[in-house]
């Protein structure tokens, strides 16, 4: 079993609230919050839309795997991951070996609403962002489910309420690992 058992890793689609919930969860459990996207930006000295432009999605995914590999080796983290992290088999392999992977879900309506004004999401710079979100969810839902031991819907719940649900599910051992 690689990786530390005390890290909590959040996976799920963009706009589901991984960063917001992750920060609160870290505060309330005495862990350090990290976000794979932010770490990539720090290491690269450039933001994600720029990395996508210059290196394409493949280049970005390469960086994502390297950051994920490094972060799961650390301890005491709450880790928010990018929505597409589950696309690569290598990343899923890493995630499957972590004990506390939580899949946050939301309805299409919620995701559309939450990402509507966000220009920092390269995959949504399309004519029909809603259709794109539907397509991404259909492709990625089975992959999120495959790596996560716990699944929680964030619909109509405050970030605080979601944090409490995550803590109680993990405390009851409702996950693999």
User: Tens-of-pLDDT digits for all 177 residues of the chain?
Assistant: 344 468 999 999 988 999 999 999 999 999 999 999 999 999 999 998 899 899 998 999 999 999 999 999 999 999 999 999 999 999 999 999 998 999 999 999 999 888 887 777 766 678 888 898 899 899 999 999 999 999 999 999 999 999 999 999 998 876 554
Look up the pTM and report it: 0.91
pLDDT of residue 6: 87
DSSP the chain: --S-TT-EEEE--TTS-HHHHHHHHHHHHT-EEEEHHHHHHHHHTS-HHHHHHHHHHHHHHHHHHHHHHHHHTSSSEEEE--TTGGGSHHHHHHHHT-SEEEEEE--HHHHHHHHTT-TT-GGG-SS-HHHHHHHHHHHHHHHHHHH-SEEEE-TT--HHHHHHHHHHHHHTT-S--
**In the chain, where the domains are located:** 8-169
CATH of 8-169, one of 3.40.50.300, 1.10.10.60, 3.30.380.10, 2.40.50.100: 3.40.50.300
């Amino acid at each position: 079993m690689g990786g530390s058992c005390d890290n909590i890793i959040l996976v799920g689609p963009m706009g589901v609230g991984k960063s917001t919930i992750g920060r609160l969860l870290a505060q309330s459990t005495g862990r350090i919050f990290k976000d794979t996207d932010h770490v990539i930006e720090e290491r690269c000295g450039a933001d994600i839309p720029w990395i996508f432009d210059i290196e394409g999605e493949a280049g970005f995914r390469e960086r994502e795997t390297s950051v994920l590999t490094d972060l799961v080796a650390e301890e005491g983290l709450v880790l928010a991951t990018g929505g597409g992290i589950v696309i690569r088999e290598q990343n899923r392999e890493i995630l499957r070996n972590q004990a506390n992977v939580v899949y946050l879900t939301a309805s299409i309506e919620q995701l559309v609403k939450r990402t509507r004004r966000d220009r920092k999401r390269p995959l949504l710079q399309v004519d029909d962002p809603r259709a794109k979100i539907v397509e991404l969810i259909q492709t990625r839902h089975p992959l999120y489910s495959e790596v996560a031991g716990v699944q929680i819907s964030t619909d109509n719940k405050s970030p605080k309420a979601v944090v409490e649900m995550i803590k109680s599910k993990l405390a009851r051992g409702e996950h693999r690992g």
